[in-house]
Structure 1
Amino acid sequence: MKRIYVIVFGLLIFFSATAVSADGGLKDNFDYSNPEFRATVDMLDMDGHGNDDYSSCSVKQLYYQEVAEMFEKGMTKQDILDYYVKEQGEFALKAPLKKGFNLTLWVTPLLLIVLVTILLYFLIGKWKKNNPVLMVEDEAQFLDSESEIYSSIIEEERKKFL
């Protein structure tokens, strides 16, 4: 029975050692915290896995390794992005390119906000003109007459108790 345990334990150690060295030592050589690397990887959608956790997503790990290899080969950030756009189309990026028809996707929301703001400004101005409120003079007269009424009521009540 001891032999079976030793064999199973030996196989576990063997397979775990091969899993550790399977990446070819890329993690030791490449700096994943490089700002240019981070900026490049953050722009890629990674087949919908761009927002997943690196430690649990094998697709994201594969993309990181590919991009790291491309940087080691001397490719620039733009070269890498162009490569992925050529291979997968614009869907390879998290945000659409700011040219051509996609430019309208960037500009339209801003234009709509400005147009709605201008429209509301003029509509509120028109509503104010059509609905006149009490003038200041009318309001002052109203307050004077109201205060006289209250004064007379107070006087009557005071006379009752004197």
Structure 2
Amino acid sequence: MNKKFSIGILIILFIFQGAFAVFGAENKSIDIKSKEFKAVASQFICTCGCGQDHYSCDMAGCKNTEAFKAELVDMMEKGMDKDEIREYYVKALGEEILTAPVKSGFSLTAWVLPFAAIGGAGTGIFFIIRKWVKKNGNSEEMVADDQEKDEIEEEILSSIIEEERKKYL
């Protein structure tokens, strides 16, 4: 009897274990509008040419995004997290699929270097213009000389005009 009782308890435990596996486990159905899905899908750029991420791609008839979203939902339902999914796609498609660069190595250099070059060029142009302005700093004296020359030229021109007018009038 003791043996039958032990076997019965074991059978009941196995049944409950199966019931917990079916009902107790998270039967997660990932919603495409959820924050969790947005965090995963928005890290990949759409390949249809719209320039948006897969979460916000709204191109009419974009089959790439629908298939990609279905694949992401499948991966998330299997229990993969955001980082695992990103690693999978970077290995499969390369870093070009990411909306933001990896913050290390050549990718970081390739994204930062153009901005640094533009900033350096702007600074150089600023100092060159500043030097030119300082070089022409004695412009007040030059302006005074120019004004004197203009007055002399004006007097000469007015005297010539006056002489010509006297001849004909």
So what's the TM-score if we normalise by structure 1? 0.57
Q: Write out aligned runs for 1:59-70 (5 A).
A: 59-70=64-75
The 2-side partners of 1:116 and 1:99 are apart by 25
Aligned twin of 1:121: 126
Q: How far apart in 2 are the matches of 1:69 and 1:110?
A: 39
* Cα 1:132/1:37, change in 2 over 3 Å: farther
Number of residue pairs aligned between Structure 1 and Structure 2: 132
Structure 2: distance between partners of 1:125 and 1:64 = 55
- What's 1:39 paired with? 39
Structure 1 stretches of 4+ moved >3 Å? 134-138
Q: Given residue 132 of structure 1, which amino acid in structure 2 is its aligned partner?
A: N
TM-score, normalised on structure 2? Answer: 0.55
- Compare relative contact order (CA 8 Å, sep 6+) and give the higher one, 1 or 2: 1
- Structure 1, unmatched stretches of 5+, are 1-28, 139-162
Q: Rg: which structure is higher?
A: 2
Aligned to 1:101: 106
| Distance in 1, Cα, partners of 2:49 & 2:78 | 23
Deviations 1:24-75 (Å, cap 9, x if unpaired)?
Answer: xxxxx431111231132122234x2273536622221110011011111221
Q: Say if 1:90 and 1:96, in contact at 8 Å, map to a contact too.
A: yes
From 62, 84, 97, the equivalent of 1:79 is 84
